[in-house]
Amino acid sequence: MGIQERKEREKNERKALILRCAKELLLEHGVERVSMIDIAKKAELSKGTLYLYFPGKEELFREICDEAATRFIQYFQARLKPGLSALETIKLYWLCYVDMFGESDDMIVIFNMKHYIAPAFPFSPFEDARHPPRGPAVAADSPYIFYTMIRDMIRQGIQEGAFDPSVNPGMIARIMLSLFSYIVENVAKMPKGEQKSQFIIAEVKHIFEILLRGIAREGFDRSCLILPG
């Protein structure tokens, strides 16, 4: 391995260390109580070295969120199959959420940090031309990723006749995210050992099902709106 390659590897390893330490501090203390100095100390780096990698706290936190969102998107997309209906896609999305919630802290990280990264989320006008995503889906702001995914599933459901054509897909997506965010924010305040309880999963499932029933087309079979247990 050449000198340049070794330097690049060391740089990537140090950046990964910074992100890992920052994430641990965020989960333990919350966004507002963590400073760049705290992160530097935990990573055993000088503050100056930390700023070589991240110009500020917002950029560092945004990368943590975007990495977590990317992992979820990749996990979800790897399980998508061609020809799935909107309801099948929504149920798959739910199962992927349950898997990720149980296996990692990514969902807690994303939604517990949203007020810091996107204060108006989920009510900012995402479809306004002044608020475009920064790039491809996996590289965009994490709030926008979840918004567009849910919005597009609702749109598909309307086209397939499962959902009421009078509903606004963007508004429904924002309502879902608002309720979901409220739950996750409260989960983040709970003791670590209680954050993964089946009660919390059941509560989120119940809310999603109520919303699905509320937007279902009149006469549609409600039994199709039950999410996997």
Tell me how crowded residue 134 is: count the other CB atoms within 10 A of its CB. Answer: 10
132 and 36, same structural domain?
A: no
State the average pLDDT over residues 192-211. Answer: 79
Does 70 lie in the same domain as 48? no
Tokens of 101: 């919630």
Boundary-marking domain end, from 31, 55, 79: 55
Whether the pLDDT of residue 143 is over 80: the answer is: no
Q: Is the pLDDT of residue 107 over 80?
A: no
**Residue 92 and residue 174 in one domain:** yes
Structural domain containing residue 114:
64-225
Same domain, 7 and 106: no
Report the distance separating Cα 165 and Cα 145, nearest Å. 23
Split into its structural domains, the chain has a count of 2
Q: Which residue has the higher pLDDT, 203 or 126?
A: 203
User: The CATH number of the domain where 183 resides is what?
Assistant: 1.10.357.10
Are 117 and 153 in the same domain?
Answer: yes
Say yes or no: 86 and 47 in one domain.
no
Distance (Å, whole) CA 183 – CA 79: 26
Q: What share of the chain is helix, strand, coil (3-state, %, to 5)?
A: 70, 0, 30
pLDDT surpasses 60 at 146: yes
Same domain, 121 and 187: yes
Do 140 and 110 have their domain in common? yes
Same domain, yes or no: 158 and 180: yes
Q: How much is the average pLDDT of 138-161?
A: 82
